[in-house]
Structures are given as C-alpha cells and as structure tokens.
C-alpha cells in the first residue's frame, strides 16, 4: 500500500473513531442534561408549529399552540379540568389494578402448571386475538353507563398483557433454584414468594409498563362512547363542536398523564429490583 493511501486510511479510521466517541458521549449524557435537551427539542417543535399556524396550517383543522394553551388555562382557572382528570384517573387505576391482579395470578398459576397451560392455551389465545375495543358496547350493555363499564374495558385490555409477561417470566425461572429450595423442604407458597416471584419481577413489570397506557386508552374510549365526565368525554364533546383547540388540549393532558404514570411504574420497578439485589 502506498504512503498516501495509508495516510488516507488512517484519517478515515480516526474520523470513525471520533464519530463513535461523540455518539458514545451523547448517549452517556446525564439525566438533567438529557431532560434539558428534550425540553429544548419540544420548544423548537412548538415554535415551528406556532409559526406555521395560519400560514401553512389551517387553524380550523389544526389549532395553534397558543390557542391550546389558552384553552388549558381556562379549564384550570374554572376548575373543571380537575373533575375530568380525577374521573379518568380513578377509572384507570381501578381497571389497571383489577387487570394486573388477574393477569399476574393467571400467569403464575398457568406458568407453574404445564398441564393447565397446554389445556387452556388455544382458548386463551383465541380470546386474546379478539379486538378488545370491540367489546366496549357489550361492556356498556352489561355494566351500564357508569364507571363500571370503563373499569371493565381497562381491565380487559390490561389482563392479557400482564398475563403473557408473567407467564413467560415464570416459565423462565431456573428449575435448579426451585429444585434446591424443594430439597430444603420449602413449601409451595415459600417457593412462590422466595424464588418464582422475585425471579419473574422484571417480566412482570415489563407487562405492567406495557399495560398501563392501555388501561388509560380503555377508559378514554369508554368515556368517548358513553359518559358525561372524563378526558374522553372532553375529546368527544370538543370534536362534536368542531373545537380543535379543545381536542388538542384534552389530548395534551392525556399524553402528560401517560408519561407521569409510566415514570411512576418505572420508579417502583427500580426500587423493587434494588430490593431484589440486596435480598440476594
């Protein structure tokens, strides 16, 4: 190889190394710096959106950020938004709790019972293949127009996501660990609490994190179909009045709630995983 070619190859390699180092340093950015970058990116998008509103974007179809902010402030000022947020959060938490309990219990039960898992497998997956949102009219018929139908729809959306992850986590538990505690005369509930559940914690929380937005979605859909309060009701009412600012304002609150709920679950998972490491 000639000397210029060798030098060129060296330059290319050095450039690639510098690029990798720059990418690695950005990826390793601390949490405060990353949050600042995320906020700055969001502000840039909002500024571009505001500048395009009325010029490139028709405000009748896509409201401007300032109009959305004004609508949010009006709701906060008159106190009406608190009622709707609480109605949605209450139904979401209740449906999520019911679906999570049933999903974890079913996943552990079938995960520890190979015969039952094989017996019920086709029925479980057949029901799981159904579009859950299509059950909303039936659930409203069965449970009425109150909060019960929203809770039921949220629970139905949650239960299978949690069940699948819990079942997979239980089946992945090291059989040698179970055999070891059995040799020490451990009872069934001790095996469950000391080995199975701690080992499946990551799987379970992955299911919970995946299911939480669906609980919120289920409640929102139920409120849009039949309700007189809640964020879904706000979306439906604003849409029927061709009020795009109201629709975007309600969607903004829904998105913020989803982010906050996800962070709460993430914090709980981190705390429990630390406890699991310490307990070992």
- The pLDDT tens digits for 53-100 are 778 877 778 888 888 898 889 988 888 888 989 999 999 999 999 999
Q: Virtual CA dihedral for 23, 267, 250, 94, nearest 10 degrees?
A: 150
Higher confidence at residue 200 or residue 175?
Answer: 200
pLDDT above 60 for 267: yes
Range of lowest pLDDT (41-50, 143-152, 191-200): 191-200
- The pLDDT tens digits for 109-142 are 888 787 887 888 888 888 777 777 778 888 888 8
> How many residues belong to the chain?
280
Token pair for 261 = 């709920």
Look-up: residue for tokens 């069934």? 188
pTM, to two decimals: 0.76
pLDDT above 70 for 174: no
- The pLDDT tens digits for 208-249 are 888 888 899 889 988 888 888 888 889 888 888 888 888 999
The domain 72-279: what is its CATH number? Answer: 1.10.3720.10
Determine the pLDDT at residue 10. 52
Say how far apart CA 34 and CA 21 lie, in whole Å.
Answer: 17
- Print the SS3 string covering 204-242: HHHHHHHHHHHHHHHHHHHHHHCCCCCHHHHHHHHHHCC
């Amino acid at each position: 190889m000639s000397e210029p070619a060798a030098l060129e190859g060296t330059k290319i390699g050095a450039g690639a190394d510098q690029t990798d180092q720059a990418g690695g340093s950005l990826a390793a950015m601390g949490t405060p710096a990353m949050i600042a970058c995320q906020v700055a990116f969001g502000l840039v998008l909002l500024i571009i959106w505001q500048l395009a509103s009325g010029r490139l974007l028709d405000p009748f179809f896509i409201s401007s950020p300032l109009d959305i902010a004004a609508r949010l402030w009006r709701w906060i000022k008159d106190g009406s938004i608190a009622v709707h947020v609480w109605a949605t959060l209450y139904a979401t938490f209740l449906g999520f709790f019911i679906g999570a309990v049933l999903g974890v219990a079913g996943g552990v039960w079938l995960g520890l019972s190979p015969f039952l898992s094989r017996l019920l497998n086709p029925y479980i997956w057949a029901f799981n293949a159904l579009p859950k949102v299509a059950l909303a009219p039936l659930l409203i018929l069965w449970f009425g127009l109150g909060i019960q139908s929203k809770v039921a729809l949220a629970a139905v959306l949650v239960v299978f996501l949690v069940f699948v992850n819990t079942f997979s986590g239980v089946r992945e538990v090291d059989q040698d660990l179970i055999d070891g505690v059995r040799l020490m005369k451990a009872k069934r509930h001790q095996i469950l609490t000391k080995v199975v559940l701690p080992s499946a914690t990551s799987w379970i929380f992955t299911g919970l994190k995946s299911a939480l937005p669906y609980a919120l979605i289920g409640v929102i859909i139920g409120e849009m179909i039949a309700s007189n309060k809640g964020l879904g009701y706000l979306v439906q009412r604003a849409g029927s009045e061709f009020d795009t600012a109201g629709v975007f304002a309600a969607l903004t609150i829904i998105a913020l709630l989803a982010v906050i709920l996800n962070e709460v679950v993430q914090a709980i998972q981190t705390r429990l995983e630390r406890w699991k490491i310490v307990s070992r």
